[in-house]
Amino acid sequence: MKVYKITGGIILQHESKSYLLNDEWDDLINRDNLYQYLTEKAAGVKYISVENAAELIAGTLLPPISRQEVWAAGVTYLRSREARMEESADSGAADLYDKVYEAERPELFFKSLPHRVAGHNQQVYIRRDSSWNVPEPELTLFINSKGSIEGYTAGNDMSSRSIEGENALYLPQAKIYERSAALGPCLYVPEEPIPPDTTIKMSIYRNDQQVYSDETSVSRMKRSLPELAHYLFLECDFAHGCYLMTGTCLVPPNDFTLQPGDVVSIGITGIGELTNTVSYKP
C-alpha cells in the first residue's frame, strides 16, 4: 500500500485502486498496525479513477511528512565506513568511523525538521561553502510514536564530504541545511516488513547523461532495522512518530561532486523512485 501526500489531501493506493482521503496526515499515519488500519479505511471510501489519481500525484505531490522529525543513522554499511575513513584521513578522525562501525551503539544524528525536507521532483540544495557534495540514498523508516516500524520511504541524506572530512565535529554543518534531506515519493506500508533483498539504486544525470549509477541491497547493512529504531527511541519521544534514514549504502567515487542542475534518482524496491534536481539555495 502507498500513501501519497498531495496539496489538500492524501491519496491511498491499494491493490490497484486509488482513494482520495481528507484525513490529517499525522493522525492517519501514527497508528499501530498501519497496514491493517489503512486497509479498513480504504474499504469505507469510494475509489477514484487511476487517471484522476495519477493527475493529482503528478501535479501536487508533497513530501510524505507533516510534524515528524527526521533522524539518520551513519556508517551502517561497509561502503560508508570506507568513504568516511578516506575523506577524514587528513583530519586524523578516520578511527572514529572504524570504531562506530564495530560498536554496539549505532551512530544516530538529527537530520531535519519537516520544513527543510524536499519531496519528489523538488530541488535539493548543495552548500556554497562546500567543495565536495554527494547524495546519500537511504532506506528510510517511518516509526510510529510507540517505536514500531510501520512504513518506509526513499531518503536522500545530502552531505558535504569536504566539511565533514575537515573535522568530524562539523558533522551537523555537513548534514543539516536547507533542503539537505529529501523523502518520497510516498510512504510505503507493506503487510510484512520489507525483505533483506530489497534493492537500493541511485543514478545521477548531468546534461541528460548518466554520470553515476550503482545499486546494492539492504542485506548488506551491518545492523538490523529494529536495532536502529530501538536506539533512537531509548530516550526520545516522538508524539507524531518520526522518520529514520538508515545510512548510505552507495557512495560515488572520490573525484565526484554534485553540481547545480544535476538530477539524482533513488529507487527502492516496493517504494518507487525519488528524483530531485540539485541547486544552490536561491
> 112: Cβ–Cβ under 8 A, 6 or more apart, which residues?
69, 70, 176, 180, 181
The only residue of 69, 87, 107, 136 in contact with Mg ion, by rule CB under 5 A: 136
Q: Side chain identity at 227, as an amino acid letter?
A: E
Per-residue exposure over 223-250, b if at least 16 CB sit within 10 Å of its own CB, e if not: bebebbbebbbeeeebebbbbbbbbbbb
What distance separates the 2 farthest-apart alpha carbons in the chain?
61
Dihedral through CA 175, CA 240, CA 28, CA 117, nearest 10? -20
Residue nearest to ligand DO4 (CB): 74
Please choose, out of 13-21, 73-81, 145-153, 190-198, the segment that lies near ligand DO4 by the rule CB under 6 A.
73-81
* Region 255-274 residues binding ligand DO4, contact defined as CB under 6 A: none
Shortest distance in whole angstroms from residue 68 CB to Mg ion:
18
C-alpha count within 13 angstroms, C-beta hemisphere, residue 152: 23
Residues that contact ligand DO4, how many (by CB under 6 A): 11
C-alpha cell at 5: 501526500
* Region 153-172 residues binding Mg ion, contact defined as CB under 5 A: 157
Grid cell 516488513 is found at 193
Taking CB under 5 A as the rule, which mask of x and - marks residues 235-264 in contact with Mg ion?
Answer: -------------x----------------
Residue 153 interacts, among ligand DO4, Mg ion, none and using kind-specific CB cut-offs from 5 to 8 Å, with none
Instruction: Confirm or reject binding of residue 107 to Mg ion (CB under 5 A).
Output: no
130 CA to centre of own chain: 22
Please choose, out of 33-41, 72-80, 118-126, 225-233, the segment that lies near ligand DO4 by the rule CB under 6 A.
72-80
* Region 159-188 residues binding ligand DO4, contact defined as CB under 6 A: 171
- Binding footprint of Mg ion on the chain (CB under 5 A): 136, 157, 248
Question: What residues line the site for ligand DO4 (CB under 6 A)?
Answer: 72, 74-75, 80, 84, 107, 136, 157, 171, 247-248
